[in-house]
Amino acid sequence: MKSIQLKTEIPGPKSKALMKRREAAVPRGPYHATPIFAARSEGAMIEDVDGNKFLDFAGGIGCLNTGHRPAEIESALRGQIEKYLHLCFSVTPYEGYVAVAEKLNALTPGKFAKKTFLVNSGAEAIENAVKIARAYTKRPSIIAFNDAFHGRTMMALSLTSKTHPYKAGFEPFPGDVYRLPYAYCYRCSYGLTYPSCKLACATALEDAFKRVVAAESVAAVIAEPVLGEGGFIAPPKEYYSTLHEICHKHGILFIADEVQSGIGRTGKFFASEHYGIEPDIIISAKSLGGGLPLAAVTGRAEVMDAAGVGGLGGTFGGNPLACAAALAALEIIEKEGLLARSTQLGQKFEARGKRWTKNFQMVGEVRGLGGMCAIELVKNPATREPAADETKKIAQYCYEHGLITITAGTYGNVMRILVPLVVTDAQFEEGLDVLEAALAQVSTAIPHNELVTSNL
Ligand SMILES: Cc1ncc(COP(=O)(O)O)c(C=O)c1O
């Protein structure tokens, strides 16, 4: 039996009525990928208020690697509810916070001594990583990359790249942020091709110290090991070790923003592991809380201790319920073999993707790492003109056929997969069937032979 079951026209009458209330009560700023209102969820499924069942390939934007409402997280939350809900770690500490910190100190790459500070969101973690890097290095500047997304608070937004809809109209942003092209091989800013490019985009960092900002002014370089919002781009294998080496040579910290790529999404606990790097600071969020708001800044102990007592904090950061959920989520990933499952889902997606690149000329590139996979859509494979309108149509077709998806990319032309890793094989295939039907519907099916996959 199919998992997707649409019983009413969608959105159904109850969702429509709620949307009217939402429009009157909530500003238009927060965007919705779908206009249906949720009633309940489980595993990789969402049921709406009209009784329609949707397959969820978005996972609340990558927050549900362990699935909707796993029994272990529910029971951890119930156990915590019996004890206390909120204390504020800055007033009365509690064990759950320390246990999450210990777990992340052990799971993040690098055998050196580490410490972890907990906050509520990815953006808040980015803000704090910048504070910590500046406190440690006593330098002001931060280098970020084109196509990066680091969040929506002001410093995070300053580091984020995409102008519309994220930055435009919200200027001015905090300063001392500099930006370089990313290793977006499909659209190389230098017009080069890997590997003959000799990683010009990574060595450009040295050049930037002459032409853009002095190395001795730079506190940190921040990058997403696999771009999330920017289009699920996994750079070539040696990219990060090259960047990392240059950073270390100049006493600059390397911050890995693993908000989207971390917590098992790519088949390893952290995408940095695929690249063999040990970031000085690593940021986790999204799936860390198993569905509850929790984010973390983990780093070298001496770096993390640079901020003075009272210099870091926040009322809700590391809330006891979120910590209980996180401990259960991290255990599920280990016990249920979700890292291997992520790799397997990536392989299944790549196999389908190969077929799509042959059958649909609009599929320009199939890429990703493990279960963090995507297709980039183009109007024409030769010109690589982004197919943003077509991508919207594909997402709309998927929604109309019961598959919840989200798009990505600076040009809005990437379909990304962030399906809960607990999805069954049958559900995953069912979802890919819908996506394939959407491609067939929207694309003009002219075969071509170009196939580019991850460089790893
Ligand atoms: C890589 C990355 N960094 C930071 C953020 C911001 O996280 P949050 O939305 O929890 O503030 C996101 C959110 O999508 C992200 O993908």
| Ligand 1 proximity of 122 Cβ (cutoff 6 Å) | yes
Please report which helix (H) or strand (E) contains residue 437, including its range.
Answer: helix 425-442
134 CA to centre of ligand 1 in angstroms: 21
- Residue among 119, 130, 149 to mutate when testing ligand 1 (max atoms within 8 A of CB): 149
Out of 155, 161, 260, 263, give the residue to mutate to test ligand 1, the one with the largest number of ligand atoms within 8 Å of its CB.
260
Rounded Cα distance between 125 and 304, Å, is: 13
Burial code (b: 16+ CB inside 10 Å, e: under 16) for 295-315 equals bbbbbbeebbebbeeeebeee
Confidence (pLDDT) at 444: 63
pLDDT of residue 1: 85
Those residues with Cβ within 8 angstroms of residue 320's Cβ, 6 or more apart along the chain or in another chain: 80, 83, 84, 85, 86, 87, 94, 96, 97
Nearest alpha carbon to residue 295 among 58, 101, 134: 101
In order along its 456 residues, the chain shows pLDDT tens digits of 899 999 999 999 999 999 999 999 999 999 999 999 999 999 999 999 999 999 999 999 999 999 999 999 999 999 999 999 999 999 999 999 999 999 999 999 999 999 999 999 999 999 999 999 999 999 999 999 999 999 999 999 999 999 999 999 999 999 999 999 999 999 999 999 999 999 999 999 999 999 999 999 999 999 999 999 999 999 999 999 999 999 999 999 999 999 999 999 999 999 999 999 999 999 999 999 999 999 999 999 999 999 999 999 999 999 999 999 999 999 999 999 999 999 999 999 999 999 999 999 999 999 999 999 999 999 999 999 999 999 999 999 999 999 999 999 999 999 999 999 999 999 999 999 999 999 999 986 444 444 344 444
* Amino acid 443: pLDDT: 85
pLDDT of residue 446: 44
